[in-house]
Structures are given as structure tokens and as C-alpha cells.
Structure 1
Amino acid sequence: MTNTSKQNYVVPLAFIGLMFFSIGFALGINSYLIPVLKGKLSISSAESYMLLAATFIPFLIFGYPASLLIKKIGYKKTMAFSFLLFAVAFGLFIPSAKAESFILFLIASFVSGTANAYLQASVNPYATILGPIESAAKRISIMGICNKLAWPIAPLFLAFVIGKEIQLVETSDLALPFYIIVGVFLLLGIISLVAPLPEVKAKGEDEEDLTLASETNFATKKSIFDFPHLILGAVALFFYVGVETISLATMVDYSNELGINDKTVLGSDFRIGELASFIPSIGMVIGYICGAILIPKVITQSLALKICSLLAIFGTLAVVLAPAAYSIYFISFMALGCSLMWPAIWPLAMDGLGKFTKTGASLLTMAIAGGAVLPLIFGWLKDSFGMQNAYWLCLPCFLFILFYGMAGHKIRK
């Protein structure tokens, strides 16, 4: 099956959406753990953000091995394998909580990140090539809605099961919710094995298809480094994942830092502490809905990337320059700008890779390690210059992404 096959992909995409939700849930757990561990284990902001680093470093290590596993056993079995790894990871959080060991928490986060690397390496190229490449951003936008709604649901789930204010939570309280999460992810592994997910291939991916390879110039390429638009796309994705993680995972911490958890949101009845994890996710979901509706009929993937980059640049400048009490709201503009970056960068970077599709996808998966590097730098900047000033880190990242949307994705050999 190639990306030109005319089939009804609603059912496969529904299962892939469930997996994107799982990815967001797993990452959203960090939003809850960072302030809890910082308070109970007496660690610095930079140290607490090491949880994010431990979660994202595996993308750099296991991105390429994941592509080899996909080649060997296929997309569906790789997805099932990733859910098994997730269950092991969440199981490790239980003794970590009982021992109150930050090192064990980092190990558990690393295993969770490894599982995420294998799942991301499976579902992103799958959604990209499960239909025409020019509408890939539309499909990934729909998947993104599932993913980003799960980010705030994770801390809400933990808070609901534990039943305490976050300032009163002890590490020992974390055991029960993680027992439940282990069971759910084992069930998801079984579901992925029986799900009706056909194996898919990108145009020209079959090496034996020499005629197609010649017509599309794949035969002249020796490695993924012969695709400048892919390499630049990986750099853009590295920056994107880092700044998106900052915009999503720092909201609770920022509201705590400002001491405004109990204040209402712009005069409404909602308290900032209650909505802290939802504000950036709302911005991202709005963007995803626009992408699902407008791409490719109204705007192209590259135009969507340029618009979102400009929105994110505006949001960053507003966060760092506005009065602190109001700056927190502009994180939603950063998140809105981030919304269509992932859906646009993936198809723009993978376009025309042919037989290098899986290897190219592994490179993009490795670039997700930006979620480890940039939040760690953010934590250091926060300790050194204050949290509001730390958001300056996002500006050069968004500027590079704007360059990729304007010119970088067009650079070909």
C-alpha cells in the first residue's frame, strides 16, 4: 500500500489517534511530577527539569534502532512493543515514589522516554504516509488534538486519584495512580496488536521499484544526508519540540512561581491554578482544529508553518515583556503557534525520501531530543535570571522554524 492508495482510513486513524493520546498522557505526567518532586525532594528547578531531559534523551539514542525494528517487524508490532515498555516504565515509578529516590525517578522517566521514542517512530510516519503527502498535516493535526488534550488530562488524573492539593502531595501518594496507569497501558498494547492497521509504505519506498525510483530521482541518492530539506527539518523539529515542551510543561510551575494559583483567570470564575495545565493546550487544540479544516484546501503546509511561527514569536515577546501577572496568559499564543509546527514539519521534511523514508523518520524521531536539551537550559536560566526571562530561550528557536517554513524546506540537491 502506498500513500496514493484510495482507501477509507477513518478506522486506522482512530486507533492511531488513541496512540497519540497515549503519547500526550505519558508526557503530561511530567507536568505534575516536576513541582511535586521539587517540593518534596528539595531539588532545584534545573534538577527538576532533568525529568524532562530523561524523558527526551532516549529519542536521540533509540530513534535509529526504532526504525530498524519497524523494518523488521512492521509498524503495528512496534507500537505494541512500545506499550509494553510504557507499562514497565510506569511500574518503575512505584518503587521510585516509595523510596523517594530522584535517581529512580530519572531511570523510570528514561524508560518511559524509550517507549515514547519507539511509539513516535511508528505513529508519525504512519500518519504521514497513510494518504496523500499534501494532506499529511491535516491528518497529523487531527492526531495532535488527541495528543495535546492528553497533556492536561494526565495531571488532572493524578490529582483526582490522589485527592490532595499539589502542595500536600507526598511521593508515596503516587503509587496508586501508577498501578492504574500500568494496567491501562498493558491493555493498549493488546489493542494495538488486534487493531486493523494495514502496513503502509511511502511512494518509492520499495527498492525493487526501480522505474519509480528513477522517475522520482531516488536512485541518485546515497543517504539521508543527500536531502538538505530533511536535515534542516530535523533541526527545526529539535527546536520545536524543545519550545513546545517548555510552553506545555512549565505552566503549572510558572503559576506557582508567580504565586497566582488562587487568582481568577481574567475576571472569570476559574482559578489559574485549576486551569494552568489547560491554558496552553487550549491554544494548541484551536490551532489543530484550524489545520484540520484549512489544510490543504485553503492554506498549504508551508504557509501554515510560517503563520504559526509568527504567532509563536509574538507570544514569546509578549511573555517576556508583559507585566508578570499577565504574561502567563500569552503562553497560550506560544502554544497556538506551536500547534501546526509538528504537523507541517514532518511532511515537509519527509517529502520525496522514497526508500529512505524509514531512516528519515528515525532522524526526525531523534530530533525529538530537543525536548531534553531546551527545558534543561530553561531550568538553568530560570534559576539564574528568573522564570519570565527564561522564556527568551524560545525566540531564536521560533526564528529558525520561520526560516524553515519560508526557505529551508525548499533546499534540495
Structure 2
Amino acid sequence: MAGAVPTTTRNPSPSRAQGDYTMPLVVLTSLFFMWGFITALNDILIPHLRAVFTLSYVQAMLIQFCFFAAYLIVSFPAGYVVEKLGYKRGIIVGLVVAGLGCLLFYPAAGRASYALFLGALFILASGITLLQVAANPYVTVLGRPETASARLNLTQAFNSLGTTLAPFFGSMLILAVAARPVADAATLSPAERAAQAAAEASAVQGPYIGLAVVLFLIAVVIALSRLPAIEAAEQPAELPPDTAQAVYHTHDSVWQYRHLVLGALGIFVYVGAEVSIGSFLVNFMADPGVAGLPEETAAKYLSLYWGGAMVGRFIGAALLKKVRPGHLLAFNALVVVGLLVLAMLVSGKAAMWAMLAIGLFNSIMFPTIFSLAIEGLGKHTGEGSGVVCMAIVGGAIVPVIMGFFADRIGLLHAFFVPALCYLYIAYYGLKGHYADFEPVAARRQG
């Protein structure tokens, strides 16, 4: 949604522009914070469960694989669920499913079963996927069409707040329980090792039970709240400012909307690039040719990366009220390409700071691509949101591609992979999201 969000042609009363949606937006913002917090906890689970179960790196990365796989498997069906139940009920169902996933961490830890942990993560991520499918488009329709991207960026800023705070709480509540060194574990009998693993795995029980309680409470609050019921649109009520003299194509199938398909690809490469950079950033900063930091010290700098994304979203929410979303998206993407090239060409701490600065410019990309992709889908908005959320599976695939090149040409030069991703994002911001628009004069001639 560059500037306009589809509304029903029946002009519901009161209109969206006239309604006061402050409280509904406050309630929805809590959802963005929660799923950011939960997603960032995966970075704590990986080292913890790797130590508990003595996993290889490939086995440990199944945590992220199972989490992001839910977006691919669940997103499109979730779109149909939202269309059948409505935005509000869809959000409640998503919260309940995510809460059940959190509760499953208790038996997974009790049995010290890595397979159960992975299953719990998949269910948890399925609930979060449903939340995203329902809440993202809901935020865009709660207010004036021309400020849709600004609202979504503002709520996403609280998502970044969750990702910034989660590592600190996770380190205190989970990583504070240190795994027994391998040398000590080797002296234990099989039964003693199983008991030790169960004791260490239990460190996640309290935090995730607490998360389940919070998710269920939010579901109750939303169920009791008087959130406005907004119907899917038949056609856009107002053209985006980028396309003042244009008409919008309507299609029978959601897959016929080229700007949606191109936007889904944009989400795929963006999430993939973001996860790739985050996954390799500690190793990058620990490289003697860059900063030579101990890994523990390098890990602390990640808060600057995620904190930059949070600050950037607050700034972006203000800028998007005055700047065309597509143009700002393209500008930020090209800046990131420049920072990646700079990091690949120079050495020392300049390269480290260039990488950390990427977080600031990543800030507005996900919500802006999302809003542009589902603009004007009308009755297909729920399905379209599901298609876009499916593309988040890029977070499981692009890092593997980058890792393939890192093993062969070195980590530093492997950053060309996310650079290519951001070049596509720049294209989408400048041109790709216009795919289903055409000049009025050309339409008349046709």
C-alpha cells in the first residue's frame, strides 16, 4: 500500500478516516511487540539447546528452519481463515495457537526431547504467522489510506523493540543456566546424562510458560475489546499519490496481481538478507581483519543492529507521511547496498560499523514492502496477506545460499548475496509495485 488502502465501495459509516482507532492500534501494537520478542528468543534457544543436546551447527539450525517453515506452510491457509473469521477472530485464534506452542515447551523440556522442542516451535510459529496475516492488513485499514505505510511502520517499530529486549531477558532467564562442560558430561552414565539434559532444558520452562500466559491474556483483552469490523474492499477508494493518473486492474485470482507476486518476492529476499546478515554478523566482527572481537563481545553489538532498526522505524513512520513509500524503500535499499559494498572493500572497524548501520536502513523495508504488495487487492486482501507471509520462508533459504558461498569464497565476499537481494528491493520500490497500474489514457485507448 503505497499510499492508499482499499476500502469498500459502500462507504461504511463512520468512515475509516473519521473513526478514532487509537485504542485498537494500541492493542494491535502489543501483538507486534510480542512476536518480535518471541522471534528474537530463537537466538537464545540456539546456543542453549545446542549445549543441552550436544548438537552440530546444522542440527541447531533446525530451530530456525522449523520456525520459518511455518510461514511457508501456514501463511496461505491462514489467509483463508482470516477471510472466513474476520481480522479480530483471526488474531484471537493466532494468539491461542501461539500460546499453546509456548505451553508445549514444558513437556519438551521435561522429556529433554529436541524433537518435541522443534514441534513446539513450529506450532508457536504457526500462531505467529496467523497473527501476522491478520494484524498487518488490519493495521493498514485502521485509519486514513494515505498514512497506511506510516501506521504499519510505527507498529513494526514496537516489533523491533521486542527483538531488542528479548536477548537481554533471554540471557538472564535461559542462558544463566550454563550447560555442563563436555568433559564433565563424559564422566556421567547415560541415565545421569539424560537427567542432566532434562535439568538444563528446564531453564526454558518458566520463560515460555510466562509467554503463554501473556499471549492468552492479550487474546482475552482483544476478545473483550470493541475493535471495528472492517470488510474487505471491492476496489480502492483513493489512488495512491504515486499513481495519480492511473486506474487499478482487478483480477479474479490473487495470483494474477503482479505487484503482489513481485512484493512477495521482495519479502522473500528481504527477510533472507536480514537473517543472513544477522546470522553471520558475530563471525564477521570476530574476524581479525575486521574488528577481531571476542564472540561474546561481538554478540553485544547486535543490540545496536536491532536497536537501529527500532529507531529507524520511528523515523520512517514520520517520513512516510511526506515521502512516497516506494521512493523511500528504494533509497534505503540502495544505501544498504552501498554499506555492504563498503564493508566488502574496506577492513577494520569501518567495515564493522558499516554492517551495524544496515539495521537503521532495514527498518522500514518489511512493513513498506508488505503494504505495497497488498494494496488494492480488495476481497483478496486476506489471501494476499497470506501469500506475502509465505515468502518469509526466505529467512530459511537465503542464509543457506550465503553459507554455501562463504565456505567457498570466504565470508567477507559472500555478502554479495544480500547485496543482490537489496538491489531487487530497490527495483520493487521504484517500479515493481506499479505492475497492476496503467495510465488512464492508455486504458481508454485499449
**TM-score (norm. length: structure 2):** 0.80
Aligned to 1:260: 293
Q: Please, which of 319, 328, 351 is the counterpart of residue 375 of structure 2? A: 351
Distance, in Å, in 1 between the alignment partners of 2:180 and 2:26 is 38
* Structure 1 residue 35 corresponds to structure 2 residue 53: no
Cα-to-partner distance string for 1:14-61 (whole Å, 9 max, x where unaligned): 111100001101111111112223344333334322211211111121
Contact 1:28 1:249 in 2 (8 A): no
Q: Is 2:263 the counterpart of 1:225?
A: no
Once the two structures are superposed, residues 299-324 of structure 1 have per-residue CA deviations (whole angstroms, 9 ceiling, x without a partner) of 11011101110122123224444436
Greater helix content:
1
Instruction: Give 1:14's match in structure 2, choosing from 26, 31, 37.
Output: 26
Matches within 5 A, 1:126-275: 126-162=138-174, 164=176, 170-204=200-234, 221-248=251-278, 251=281, 260-261=293-294, 272-273=298-299, 275=300
Q: Residue 205 of structure 1: CA displacement?
A: 6.0
CA drift of 1:370 comes to 1.4
Take 1:236 and 1:106, find their aligned partners in 2: how far apart are those partners? 28
Question: 1:187 deviation in Å?
Answer: 1.5
Task: In structure 2, list runs of 5 or more residues that go unmatched.
Answer: 1-6, 9-14, 182-199, 237-245, 438-446
Cα distance in 1 between the residues matched to 2:235 and 2:380: 7
Q: Find the aligned partners of 1:146 and 1:140 in 2 and give their Cα distance.
A: 10
Change (3 A) 1:317 1:95: farther
CA distance in 2 between partners of 1:250 and 1:79 (Å): 33
Residues 106-134 of structure 1 show CA distances to partners (whole Å, capped at 9, x for unaligned) of: 22221121111100001111112222333
Residue 159 of structure 1 deviates from its aligned partner by 1.8
C-alpha displacement of 1:13: 1.0
The alignment status of 1:280 with 2:305, answered yes or no, reads yes
CA drift of 1:157 comes to 1.4
Larger mean CA deviation between 118-127 and 90-99 belongs to 90-99
Partner Cα separation in structure 2 for residue 366 and residue 66 of structure 1:
10
Give the structure 1 partner of residue 321 of structure 2.
Answer: 296
The answer to whether structure 1 residue 67 and structure 2 residue 79 are counterparts is yes
Letter paired with 1:370: G
1:326-351 Cα distance to aligned partner (Å, 9 max, x none): 54433322222221111221222222
RMSD over equivalenced CA pairs, Å: 2.9
Q: Which amino acid aligns with 1:292?
A: A
**Pair 1:57–1:83, CA change in 2 (3 A):** same
Secondary structure of 2:415 counterpart: helix
Q: Which moved more, 1:330-339 or 1:340-349?
A: 330-339
- TM-score when normalising by structure 1: 0.85
Residue 105 of structure 2 is aligned to residue 93 of structure 1: yes
3-state SS of the aligned residue for 1:107? helix
Instruction: Indicate the residue corresponding to 1:45 in structure 2.
Output: 57
C-alpha change, 1:36 and 1:251, in structure 2 (3 Å) is farther
Percent identity of the aligned residues?
Answer: 29
SS at match of 1:175: helix
Q: Which moved more, 1:136-145 or 1:287-296?
A: 287-296
CA 1:178 to 1:4, structure 2 compared with 1: closer, same or farther past 3 Å?
A: closer
| Gap change, CA 1:33 and 1:362, over 3 Å in 2 | same
Q: 1:101 to 1:261 in 2, by over 3 A?
A: farther
Partner Cα distance (2:363, 2:257) in 1: 25
Q: 1: CA distance between counterparts of 2:52 and 2:345?
A: 32
1:408 paired to 2:432: yes
Q: Distance in 2 between matches of 1:98 and 1:327?
A: 44
Unaligned runs of 5+ in 1: 207-214, 264-270
Deviation at 1:176, TM superposition (A): 2.3
Q: Is the 8 A contact 2:103 2:208 kept in 1?
A: yes
- Structure 2 counterpart of 1:193, one-letter code: A
Aligned partners of 2:346, 2:111: CA distance in 1, in Å? Answer: 42
Inter-CA distance 250–186: structure 2 relative to 1 (3 Å threshold): farther
CA shift at 1:75, angstroms? 1.1
Segment of structure 1 superposing worse, 305-314 or 254-263:
254-263
* Rounded Cα–Cα distance in structure 1 between residues aligned with 2:324 and 2:354: 26
Cα separation, 1, equivalents of 2:253 and 2:396: 27
Paired with 1:149 and 1:167, the residues of 2 have a C-alpha distance of: 29
In the alignment, is residue 330 of structure 1 matched against residue 363 of structure 2?
Answer: no
1:102 pairs with 2:126: no
> 1:53 and 1:127, CA in 2 relative to 1: closer, same or farther beyond 3 A?
same
CA contact (8 A) 1:241 1:368 kept: yes
Q: Secondary structure at the match of 1:7?
A: coil
| Residue identity in the other structure for 1:180 | G
Partner of 1:210: none
Shift of 1:225: 2.9
Q: Deviations over 1:244-297 (max 9, x none)?
A: 23344555566678773478xxxxxxx544x33311112212221221111122
- 1:366 is the counterpart of 2:378: no
SS in 1 for 2:229: coil
